[in-house]
Copies of this chain bind each other. A is one copy, B any other.
Amino acid sequence: MTQTYAIGIDIGGTNTDMGLVRDDGTIVARKNLPTNAYTELSPYIRDIMAAVETLMKENKVESIEGIGIGAPNGNFYTGCVDNAPNLTIKGVLNFEKEIHRYMNVPVALSNDANAAAFGEMVYGGAKGMKHFIMFTLGTGVGSGIVVDGMLVHGSTGGAGELGHAILIPDGRQCSCGRKGCLETYTSARGIVQTFCEMRQEYGYKEMREGWIGNDMKDKDITSKMIGDAANAGDPVALATYERTGHLLGIAMANAVTFSAPEALFLMGGPTKVGEPLMRPLRDSFKKHLLNIFEGSCEIRMSELKANEVAILGAAALLKMK
């Protein structure tokens, strides 16, 4: 039986990761480029396509099903990246058109959270599911929503921005200019802010190894440190995840009222802490879930590897075409 292959490209502000993906979800080989070395689209695409050709040649792959791309502000309908603030290449960038100058294959492009969601469906824990939502926790909070087996892109292509649903009206200032977005509480930065507020308010009554304590400066604290401290029993870190899980549980219960998914998936650095976040999250989700959805929806961790999900998700987008 002949194997089929696709290219998955994950575009970040710093790096561009490319992978040759076999139909069974194996990343056969990878290449990367420094995204921030480019200020123009043409040379960037020229170098991407050179890498694609090399990937194919080195692995004796003669044809590919297409090129899938996960990118900030990626628009599925237009094949463009629209004014992504964290890219050094500015403006509305027509990736599809530019790629077609080199290779006439299908190009599918969406934002990174959408790609992660679709990757979970094609290669991960959401196989066979028709309705689910992926929440990606990182510097920000992203989401990808699948309804009836298709990603929801909406009328603009920009649907699925649950990190910017307002959870606490007039709450914390968000980088988007508004207040109280989910992201301000449950992103890595949000978790650090909660921790800093909490140790200010409650402080430490005793100190043990592995705890953060009051000596560390706010600006030096990372969400990874808070996660490690929570697993060492740090009471302020544990209280931080209690609050984070509580709030994320409300947001996830709210998402269920929209599309009644079978599962809500979680991925990203801040989720790696495990039970200190997951226990209060599950409790809050259960408490805040509307009764008609009881037992119909569970919270699950992404089953894709952290260093593969972006490339697999990008490649998976081709199945939407």
Contacts and interface: CB of A to CB of B under 8 A. Distances in A.
Nearest to A260: B154
Interface string A177-194: 110000000000000000
A58 B178 CA distance: 59
Residue among A129, A154, A160, A262 having the largest count of chain B Cβ atoms under 10 Å: A154
Number of copies of chain A assembled together:
2
A59 B287 CA distance: 53
B164 A167 contact: no
A250 B291 CA distance: 24
A288 B181 CA distance: 10
A147 interface: yes
Interface stretch (A62-70, A266-274, A292-300, A307-315): A292-300
B291 A165 contact: no
Contacts of A79: none
Contacts of A166: 250, 253-254, 288
A293 B82 CA distance: 13
A29 interface: no
Interface in A20-73: 73
A86 to B, nearest CB: 14
A172 interface: no
Nearest to A83: B292
A254 B257 CA distance: 12
Interface of A: 73, 129-131, 145, 147-148, 150, 152-162, 164-169, 176-178, 247, 250, 253-255, 257-262, 287-288, 290-293, 296-297
28 contacts: A131-B154, A131-B155, A131-B159, A147-B147, A147-B148, A147-B152, A147-B154, A154-B259, A155-B260, A155-B262, A155-B296, A156-B260, A158-B260, A158-B292, A158-B296, A160-B257, A160-B260, A161-B257, A162-B258, A165-B257, A166-B250, A166-B254, A169-B250, A176-B290, A176-B291, A178-B287, A254-B254, A258-B258
